[in-house]
Amino acid sequence: MAAIRERKDQNGKVSYQAQVRIQGYPPQSKTFLRKTDAKQWAIQTETEIRTGMTIRKSTASKHTVREMLERYRDNVLIDKANGGKDHKTHIAWWIDELGHYALSEVTTDLVTRSMDKLKKSKTRLGKSPAPATVLRYLMALSHAFNVARKQWNWCESSPVENVQRPKVKNERTRYLTDAEREALLHACKNSPNSDLYLVVLLAISTGMRKGEIMGMRWQDIHTPPDQSFTRVHLTKTKNDKARSVLLTSPALELLEERRTKLLDSLQAKTTTGLIFPSAVNADQPVDLRRPWCSALQAAGVDGFRFHDLRHTTASYLAMNGASLLSISKVLGHQTTKMTERYSHLATSHIDEVVRSMNAKKFGAIT
């Protein structure tokens, strides 16, 4: 209910305080010089509260972008693959850029101007960030706002929704030739880092992302009683959808050797925790950036990224006759759209399907 109270200060000046109290909502109050204005505000505020508008606006004005992003970083990113390590840089940039704003003050135009600033910045190599990089920054902010809106009720809408996304041509299909693969694996096997060879072998043989491999835990590996297969159950993936990946030799054999040595050293029957932990912090995965770069250099493999190992898996599958749907399932794509980039590598399989169909249907025709 709304109430209007007349007040006088020590000089006798009259003002009117409007108060709106509705059960289940925090009380709202505001002071006016005219009683008419107080009444009008009270009626409007009561109407808005009953439709749920005022309470959301009030909440959005109480929380800053910094609060939202820090809570998102500490409570949401930690559940993503590799602990959300790849996204923390994006979050830190947005905190510096917009952290002092209240959520209610962030507009589409403000986010757009920040994106323009990011596009004009320079990377460590002195180049402008690629459209794909800019998009990743934008999507990090977008997801944080969506979580704040849907899960925390901190705001009623996301200012990122109407920001124009940069156009990304993400059609890179760099993969290892047979000679490059042999040279790279040889370099990884001879690396001073004892984890690198197995990690790279897993990446090629399974198509798993780097974050998925580094986030693997011993308790996620399952083998049925008949030992007919072994799978790793991935709970932290890029698209937040769990999936199981088949493990095969020789990567599987090396994993089992690794487990046996660990159990012997611990004098235990079972083990848990990360398969590739850091020597400094067992709860964090090992950092393989330097060993990886050294191995590439030693193998003479140029223009290649760790993520291209995933392209290598998909390319090998396509060239061995796998359908796009099968490749999509192996890689964990939600649709086959991302998988279509490998379709040109499957031409021999497609040609064979066409030949088989024609042989069956028209073989008897003379």
> Burial level of 122, CB count in 10 A (0-12/13-18/19+)?
exposed
Q: Is 148 helix (H, G, I), strand (E, B) or coil?
A: helix
Of 121, 141, 137, 120, nearest in space to 66 by CA: 141
**pLDDT value, residue 363:** 58
**More confident call, 2 vs 279:** 279
- Cα separation, 328 vs 69, in Å, equals 33
The helix (H) or strand (E) run that includes residue 293 is helix 289-299
- Cα separation, 360 vs 364, in Å, equals 8
Residue pLDDT, tens place only, 199-244: 999 999 998 989 889 989 999 999 888 878 899 888 767 666 778 8
The CATH code of the domain at 178-307 is: 1.10.443.10
Q: How many CA atoms lie within 13 A of 362 on its CB side?
A: 5
- What phi and psi values does residue 169 have, to the nearest 5 degrees? -100, 85
**pLDDT (mean) for 43-70:** 77
For residue 146, is pLDDT > 60?
Answer: yes
The helix (H) or strand (E) run that includes residue 330 is helix 324-331
Q: Which two tokens stand for residue 59?
A: 């909440």
Q: How confident is the model at residue 58 (pLDDT cuts 50, 70, 90)?
A: low
**pLDDT value, residue 319:** 82
**pLDDT value, residue 114:** 94
Q: What is the secondary structure of 181-221 as a DSSP string?
A: HHHHHHHHHTSS-TTHHHHHHHHHHH---HHHHHT-BGGGE
Residue 133 is which amino acid? T
Residue pLDDT, tens place only, 103-144: 988 999 999 999 999 999 988 778 888 888 899 999 999 999
Which whole-number Å values give the CA distances from 301 to 35, 58, 203, 208, 294, in the listed order?
79, 56, 17, 21, 10
Among the listed ranges 35-49, 163-177, 261-275, 278-292, which one has the minimum average pLDDT value?
163-177
Q: Is 234 helix (H, G, I), strand (E, B) or coil?
A: strand
> Burial level of 85, CB count in 10 A (0-12/13-18/19+)?
middle
Residue pLDDT, tens place only, 325-363: 888 888 887 777 777 776 666 565 556 656 666 676 565
Q: How confident is the model at residue 316 (pLDDT cuts 50, 70, 90)?
A: confident
Q: Is 272 helix (H, G, I), strand (E, B) or coil?
A: coil
> Burial level of 147, CB count in 10 A (0-12/13-18/19+)?
middle
For residue 366, is pLDDT > 50?
Answer: no
Residue pLDDT, tens place only, 260-312: 888 888 776 778 889 999 988 888 899 999 999 999 999 999 989 998 998 88
